[in-house]
Chains A and B, each alone.
Chain A
Amino acid sequence: MVGLNKSDFKNPVINWIDTRMPVFTLMQKEYGSFPTPKNFNYFWNFGALAMVNLVLMIITGVFLAMNYAPNSMLAFDSVERIMRDVNWGWLIRYAHMNGASMFFIVVYVHLFRGLYYGSYKAPRELLWMLGVVILLLMMATAFMGYVLPWGQMSYWGATVITNLFSAIPLVGKSIVTWLWGGFAVDNPTLNRFFSLHYLLPFVIVGVVFLHVVALHITGSNNPLGIEVKTPQDTIPFHPYYTIKDSVGICVFFIVLALLVFFAPNFFASPDNYIPANPLQTPAEIVPEWYFLPFYAILRSVPNKLGGVMMMFGAIAVLFVLPWLDTSPVRSARFRPIYRQLFWLLVISVFALGAVGAHRPQGVWVVIGRLATLYYFLHFLVILPILGKLERPLPLPESISRPVLGGGKMPSGATAKPMEKA
Chain B
Amino acid sequence: MADTAAHSSHPGGHSGAGHGPGDGTTKRDFLKMVAGAGALVGAGAIAWPLIDSMNPSQDVLALSSVEVNLAPIPEGSGITVLWQGKPIFVRHRTAAEIKAAEDVKLSDLIEPQSDADRVKPGHAPWIVLIGICTHLGCIPLGNKPTDPRGEWGGWFCPCHGSQYDTSGRVRHGPAPLNLYLPPYAFENDTKIKIG
A interface residue numbers (CB < 8 A to B): 10, 59-60, 63, 66-67, 81, 84-89, 91-92, 239, 253
Contact = CB atoms under 8 A, between A and B. Distances in A.
Contacts of B11: 10
21 contacts: A10-B11, A60-B50, A63-B54, A66-B53, A67-B53, A81-B57, A81-B59, A85-B58, A86-B53, A86-B58, A87-B49, A87-B53, A87-B57, A88-B49, A88-B52, A88-B53, A89-B57, A91-B49, A92-B50, A92-B53, A239-B15
Nearest to B11: A10
A87 B52 contact: yes
A86 B49 contact: no
Contacts of A91: 49
Contact of A85 (B42, B49, B54, B57): B57
A84 B58 contact: yes
Contacts, number: 39
Interface string B32-56: 0000000000100000011011110
Contacts of B53: 63, 66-67, 86-89, 92
Looking at chain A's contact residues, the main secondary structure is helix
B21 interface: no
Interface of B: 11-12, 15, 42, 49-50, 52-55, 57-60
A63 B50 contact: yes
Contacts of A239: 15
A94 to B, nearest CB: 11
A253 B11 CA distance: 34
Chain A to chain B: the 10 pairs with minimum beta-carbon distance, closest first? A88-B49, A85-B58, A85-B59, A85-B57, A86-B57, A87-B52, A88-B53, A87-B53, A91-B49, A63-B50
Contacts of A60: 50
B44 to A, nearest CB: 14
A88 B54 CA distance: 10
Contacts of A81: 57, 59
A281 B69 CA distance: 50
Q: Name the residue in B42, B49, B53 with the highest tally of chain A Cβ atoms < 10 Å from its Cβ.
A: B53
A386 to B, nearest CB: 45
Contacts of A253: 42
